């Protein structure tokens, strides 16, 4: 849209920051919600894919039509007719200007419907017609009108230094004869030239600085957003520069106090301009209290596990298999230290990693010791079971023999043939009478107790 003259200064919120004119076909970015003229922002993105306001990344894909309210506000601005220079004094809303130019305005030049028509040029260049100067009343061909106006001595012209502030206006013949010689601004023409050059350089420098300031403002806004994100991520580990300065000052003050007052613990007074040792310690390691550490509920208290935990095993009264555990030294577990928020996040993570590595090594060592202990106990239990098996087998054999002998005795009383051997009668010599002798039953011989397998305690 061509440049228009507005009757009243438009609202600054309706001005495009690229062309510095009211919006024409406004478009809004979906990322940073800034509004520009569509043609302006397209041209800006072609040169650099950054938002002209905050320097954030910008592409044509994130451009959408602006809110209809913005478009209506811009279209309702009152503007002057572009033909005002030739005599049209009409004013209307910007959205109605095109209809005025097409249908109403009497000063708009319309093209002729006939082809090869040169009437518009012929009227100003015709040499057969004469024109009369309104200043000197001389006649001249119409084609020489512009040349005559440029050289007519009676035409009212301003001073050549009017742009510097000279208010004189008069005939051209008096300008060169009298006014130039007496004009105070003419004598300062050299100064004005130097001043104009300096002003031009300053204007260019200011424009460059303004662009740099806008770029820096965009970078600062981006850094502020990143800092807010970092604060949210770091949480309690974030410390401002003032806090770190106070902490370092307190630490240096406590070190100085310890060097100059080696026996200061016996005195209750604190020297001036010195920070007490307890204050420095409290600053480095803040005492645990509600609200001091936002992560305290997720970690055990400092007193957790402070009492030594003795690893004991229940002894079996008869076997003594787990005697090895009674000879192990009971190692007290150290309490879990709270997180040290005085260091950086990287330092805390390194400390946690070292603690995890130490715990992993301890768990690995404990698992190996438990495997060895379980293996030894399994071997001892297997040996005991083997020895008990042999003992039970020997007892079973002895009981079997006893039962066989008892059965033999019972069957002998009932008159049944016994499977046990009976004494064989020896024939007596002739003439000798041997009195009958009672049969004596001897108890069965018991086998020796089972000595147990070799290599056992039985």
pLDDT by residue (tens digit) across 44-71? 999 888 888 888 888 889 999 999 999 9
Query: In the predicted model, what is the mean pLDDT of residues 442-454?
Result: 51
Helix/strand/coil for 219: helix
The pLDDT mean for the chain works out to 75
Residue 202 pLDDT level (bands cut at 50, 70, 90): very high
Is the pTM of the predicted complex or chain greater than 0.75? no
Query: In the predicted model, what is the mean pLDDT of residues 298-302?
Result: 46
Cβ atoms of 35 and 28 within 8 Å: the answer is: yes
Query: In the predicted model, what is the mean pLDDT of residues 140-146?
Result: 76
Q: Bigger pLDDT: 333 or 299?
A: 333
What percent of the chain is helix, strand and coil (3-state, nearest 5)?
50, 5, 45
Residue 330 has pLDDT above 70, yes or no: no
Provide the pLDDT for residue 274: 44
Provide the pLDDT for residue 168: 86
List, in sequence order, every residue forming a beta bridge with 79; answer none if it has no partner: 6, 92
Cα of 127 vs its chain's centroid, Å: 80
Provide the pLDDT for residue 402: 92
Distances (CA, A) of 229 to 50, 232, 233, 244: 22, 5, 6, 20
CA dihedral sign of residues 103, 107, 112, 116: negative
Q: Give start and end residues of each alpha helix (H) in 235-303.
A: 241-260, 277-284
Provide the pLDDT for residue 54: 87
pLDDT by residue (tens digit) across 234-293? 777 776 666 556 655 555 555 555 555 555 444 444 444 444 444 444 444 444 444 445
Provide the pLDDT for residue 288: 44
Q: What are the residues whose beta carbons fall under 8 Å from the beta carbon of 412, sequence distance 6 or more?
A: 418, 420, 441
Hunting for tokens 């399994």 — which residue is that? 378
List, in sequence order, every residue forming a beta bridge with 69; answer none if it has no partner: none
**Would you state the torsion angle of the CA atoms of residues 234, 235, 240, 245, taken in this order, to the nearest 10 degrees?**
-90
pLDDT by residue (tens digit) across 74-132? 999 999 999 988 889 999 999 999 999 988 898 888 776 666 666 666 666 666 677 77
Cβ atoms of 41 and 27 within 8 Å: the answer is: yes
Q: Bigger pLDDT: 417 or 203?
A: 203
Provide the pLDDT for residue 140: 75
Provide the pLDDT for residue 176: 76
Hunting for tokens 């043609």 — which residue is that? 39
Query: In the predicted model, what is the mean pLDDT of residues 285-309?
Result: 45
For residue 38, give the nearest of 48, 28, 52 by alpha carbon: 28
Distance CA 383, CA 109 (A): 123
Residue 375 has pLDDT above 60, yes or no: yes
């Amino acid at each position: 849209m061509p440049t228009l003259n507005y009757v009243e200064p438009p609202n600054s919120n309706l001005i495009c920051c690229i062309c510095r004119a009211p919006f024409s076909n406004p478009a809004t970015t979906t990322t940073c919600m800034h509004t520009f003229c569509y043609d302006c922002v397209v041209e800006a993105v072609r040169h650099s894919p950054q938002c002209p306001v905050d320097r954030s990344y910008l592409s044509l894909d994130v451009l959408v039509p602006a809110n209809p309210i913005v478009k209506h506000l811009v279209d309702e601005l009152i503007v002057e007719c572009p033909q005002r220079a030739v005599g049209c004094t009409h004013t209307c809303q910007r959205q109605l200007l095109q209809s005025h130019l097409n249908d109403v305005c009497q000063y708009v030049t319309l093209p002729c419907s006939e082809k090869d028509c040169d009437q518009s040029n012929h009227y100003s260049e015709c040499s057969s017609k004469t024109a009369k100067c309104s200043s000197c009343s001389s006649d001249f061909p119409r084609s020489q009108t512009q040349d005559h106006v440029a050289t007519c001595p009676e035409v009212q012209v301003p001073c050549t230094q009017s742009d510097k502030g000279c208010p004189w206006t008069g005939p051209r013949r008096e300008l060169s004869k009298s006014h130039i010689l007496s004009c105070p601004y003419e004598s300062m023409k050299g100064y004005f030239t130097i001043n104009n050059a300096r002003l031009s350089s300053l204007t260019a420098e200011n424009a460059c600085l303004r662009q740099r300031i806008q770029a820096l403002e965009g970078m600062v806004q981006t850094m502020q957003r990143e800092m807010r994100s970092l604060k949210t991520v770091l949480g309690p580990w974030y410390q401002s520069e003032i806090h770190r300065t106070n902490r370092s000052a307190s630490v240096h003050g406590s070190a100085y106090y310890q060097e100059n007052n080696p026996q200061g613990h016996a005195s209750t007074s604190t020297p001036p301009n010195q920070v007490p040792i307890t204050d420095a310690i409290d600053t480095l390691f803040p005492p645990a209290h509600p609200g001091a550490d936002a992560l305290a509920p997720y970690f055990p208290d400092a007193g957790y596990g402070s009492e030594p935990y003795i690893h004991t095993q229940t002894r079996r009264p008869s076997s003594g298999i787990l005697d090895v555990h009674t000879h192990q030294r009971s190692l007290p577990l150290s309490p879990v230290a709270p997180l040290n928020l005085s260091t950086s996040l990287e330092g805390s993570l390194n400390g946690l990693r070292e603690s995890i590595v130490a715990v992993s090594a301890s768990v690995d060592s404990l698992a190996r010791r438990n495997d060895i202990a379980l293996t030894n106990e399994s071997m001892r239990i297997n040996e005991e079971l083997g020895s008990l098996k042999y003992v039970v087998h020997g007892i079973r054999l002895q009981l079997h023999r006893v039962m066989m002998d008892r059965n033999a005795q019972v069957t002998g009383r009932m008159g049944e043939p016994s499977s046990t051997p009976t004494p064989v009668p020896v024939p007596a010599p002739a003439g000798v009478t041997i009195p009958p002798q009672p049969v004596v039953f001897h108890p069965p011989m018991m086998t020796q107790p089972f000595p147990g397998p070799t290599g056992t305690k039985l």
